């Protein structure tokens, strides 16, 4: 039994980062910790892993089979845990981590990055390295996973979920902090929200977050509980819908920016007209989409918003540098971002606060901007807000790269899909649907329709029932 008794964490320059009345986790269970950004699930996992920053103060206790993990010998405590994180603070190189677990870099897409420090890996590759550790790491009674699904594609989220389940099947207590609630819905056994005890997924009634997509579909269609955990298992229970009325998108006028396909490293003739204000997603079926997005950004004479911000800078100094380089005014808007402490190092901010700071850099500038993994670190509400802002149109062109197809189809007006050096498709999310590397959840639940978002089918479900 893993028992958490009234744990709380206080951090310097931030104050109370986590407080919970406590809960219990049974061996062999994947327990997901969910909630809005700032509720301190990362701090809780770091408390258990004994890796809180200097100056942190804690109360309460965490016990494994009656023995405290907070007061015991540090080496003995860590020898009973396996810890993976979305933003790993590991001083080793990728090669050293893989060698420690006797894993080949090739099977995890890391063969071109073996000499990189783990802490500087692109977010999607850091997530894939985390999957490698979960699949091949030593057997431990406690597994701690901090937002590991944030930048992963559907294939890698599947491997992540199965790896967590396999750990539980071997008898581990798995604590999994996660904002990707659709992934939680599919793979978790139990849920813990702020100030609540652990409940089974089947008995979960979300309080601090919105329900996952499949839970909403099941409720609207009046599917008898327990609600299915995958779109394919939901198909037979949904009412037949003849057609849907898709949610409209804004139309963009004005002179488009012409980009030839050769400028993007593609073999085809012709070009693309990118319109002012629209968001363009980039997908490469044959590998990473970042090289194509980089060429597109260069062709448009745009700039890239960093996916990892310098931890030693303060938000104020970061914005000052950005404003000087790009003639923007982000510094004056810092007070509008919840939780940001302008003169405290970025390292002292939560992942959600850092994510909001990245999006602030993309605000109110006519510059073409490349946003890699814009959803990274955002909680559910933050992701929905970011999707809405991009979908409504920006003051300049926005280029989006993410492995999250759900985010792409909800935020982008058009999506560029390539396969290596070959152009596959360029059009609206609905037009490119057959070519996406994965279909959105709603599309998988209604395979005969052109629906891609939950909003596309809500009205039709109301009529059908």
What is the domain-level CATH number for residue 343?
A: 3.40.50.300
Q: Given the structure tokens 């609540």, which residue do they identify?
A: 196
Q: Are strands 398-401 and 414-419 parallel, antiparallel or unpaired?
A: unpaired
Is 234 domain-assigned? yes
Is 251 domain-assigned? no
Q: Rounded to an integer, what distance in angstroms lies between the CA atom of residue 139 and that of residue 118?
A: 22
Q: Are residues 219 and 72 in the same domain?
A: no
- Under a CB-based contact definition with an 8 Å cutoff, are residues 446 and 430 in contact? no
Q: Are residues 96 and 106 in the same domain?
A: yes
Q: Are residues 312 and 383 in the same domain?
A: yes
Q: Are residues 239 and 343 in the same domain?
A: no
In this predicted structure, what is the pLDDT of residue 244?
A: 72
Is 148 domain-assigned? yes
Domain count, the chain: 3
In this predicted structure, what is the pLDDT of residue 222?
A: 87
Q: Are residues 272 and 291 in the same domain?
A: yes
- Under a CB-based contact definition with an 8 Å cutoff, are residues 84 and 146 in contact? yes
Give residue-wise pLDDT tens across range 37-73: 889 999 999 999 999 999 999 999 999 999 999 998 9
Is 406 domain-assigned? yes
Is 252 domain-assigned? no
Q: Are residues 462 and 405 in the same domain?
A: no
Q: Are residues 298 and 426 in the same domain?
A: yes
What distance separates the 2 farthest-apart alpha carbons in the chain?
Answer: 68
Q: Are residues 231 and 130 in the same domain?
A: no
Contacts of residues 155-161 at CB distance under 8 Å and 24 or more positions apart, as own/partner, are: 155/438, 156/124, 156/127, 156/128, 156/131, 156/403, 157/183, 159/131, 159/135, 160/127, 160/130, 160/131, 160/134, 160/187, 161/186, 161/187
In this predicted structure, what is the pLDDT of residue 254?
A: 66
In this predicted structure, what is the pLDDT of residue 324?
A: 95
Is 320 domain-assigned? yes
Q: Are residues 149 and 123 in the same domain?
A: yes
Residue 320, beta-bridge partner list: none
Q: Are residues 164 and 263 in the same domain?
A: no
Question: CA 224, 228, 231, 232 torsion: positive or negative?
Answer: negative
Provide the Cα torsion 262, 266, 269, 271; round to 10°.
-70
Is 179 domain-assigned? yes
In this predicted structure, what is the pLDDT of residue 451?
A: 83
- Please give the residue range of the domain that contains residue 365: 257-440
In this predicted structure, what is the pLDDT of residue 246?
A: 64
- Which segments of the chain have a pLDDT < 70? 245-254, 462-465
In this predicted structure, what is the pLDDT of residue 457?
A: 85
In this predicted structure, what is the pLDDT of residue 237?
A: 83
Is 146 domain-assigned? yes
In this predicted structure, what is the pLDDT of residue 176?
A: 98
Q: Given the structure tokens 């009046």, which residue do they identify?
A: 222
In this predicted structure, what is the pLDDT of residue 111?
A: 94
In this predicted structure, what is the pLDDT of residue 231?
A: 93
Give residue-wise pLDDT tens across range 228-266: 999 999 888 888 787 776 666 666 666 788 999 999 999
Q: Rounded to an integer, what distance in angstroms lies between the CA atom of residue 302 and that of residue 295?
A: 10
Q: Are residues 271 and 242 in the same domain?
A: no
In this predicted structure, what is the pLDDT of residue 58?
A: 97
In this predicted structure, what is the pLDDT of residue 249?
A: 67
Q: Are residues 269 and 407 in the same domain?
A: yes
This prediction has a pTM of 0.94
């Amino acid at each position: 039994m893993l028992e958490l008794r009234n744990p709380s964490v206080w951090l310097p320059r931030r104050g109370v980062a986590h407080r919970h009345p406590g809960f219990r986790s049974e061996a062999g269970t994947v327990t997901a910790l969910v909630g809005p950004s700032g509720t301190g699930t990362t701090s809780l996992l770091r408390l258990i892993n004994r890796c809180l920053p200097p100056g942190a103060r804690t109360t309460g206790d965490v016990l494994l089979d009656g023995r405290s993990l907070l007061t015991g010998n540090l080496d003995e405590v860590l020898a009973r845990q396996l810890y993976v994180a979305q933003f790993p603070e590991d001083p080793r190189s990728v090669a050293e981590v893989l060698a420690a677990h006797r894993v080949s870099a090739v099977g995890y897409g890391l063969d071109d990055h073996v000499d990189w420090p783990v802490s500087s890996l692109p977010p999607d590759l850091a997530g894939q390295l985390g999957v490698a550790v979960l699949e091949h790491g030593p057997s431990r009674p406690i597994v701690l996973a901090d937002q590991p699904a944030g930048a992963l594609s559907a294939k890698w989220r599947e491997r992540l979920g199965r790896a967590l389940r396999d750990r539980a099947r071997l008898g581990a207590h798995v604590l999994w902090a996660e904002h990707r609630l659709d992934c939680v819905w599919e793979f978790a056994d139990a849920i813990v929200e702020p100030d609540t005890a652990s409940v089974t997924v089947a008995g979960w009634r979300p309080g601090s977050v919105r329900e996952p997509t499949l839970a909403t579909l099941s409720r609207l269609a009046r599917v008898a509980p327990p609600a299915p955990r995958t779109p394919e298992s939901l198909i037979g229970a949904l009412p037949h819908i003849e057609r849907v009325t898709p949610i409209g998108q804004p139309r963009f006028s004005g002179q488009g920016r012409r980009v030839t396909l050769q400028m993007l490293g593609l073999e085809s003739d012709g070009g693309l007209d990118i319109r002012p204000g629209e968001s363009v997603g980039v997908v490469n079926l044959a590998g990473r989409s970042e090289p194509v997005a980089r060429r597109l950004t260069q062709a448009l004479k745009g700039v890239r918003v960093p996916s990892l911000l310098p931890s030693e800078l303060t938000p104020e100094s970061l914005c000052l540098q950005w404003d000087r380089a790009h003639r923007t005014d982000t510094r004056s808007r810092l007070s509008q971002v919840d939780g940001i402490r302008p003169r405290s190092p970025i390292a002292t901010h939560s992942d959600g606060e850092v994510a909001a700071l990245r999006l602030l850099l993309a605000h109110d500038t006519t510059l073409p901007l490349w946003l890699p993994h814009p959803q990274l670190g955002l909680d559910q509400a933050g992701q929905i807000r970011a999707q809405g802002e991009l979908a409504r149109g920006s003051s300049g062109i926005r280029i989006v790269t993410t492995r999250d197809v759900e985010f792409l189809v909800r935020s982008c007006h058009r999506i560029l899909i390539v396969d290596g050096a070959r152009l596959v498709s360029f059009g609206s999310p609905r037009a490119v649907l057959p070519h996406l590397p994965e279909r959105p959840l709603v599309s998988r639940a209604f395979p005969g329709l052109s629906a891609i978002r939950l909003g596309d089918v809500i009205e039709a479900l109301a009529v059908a029932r």
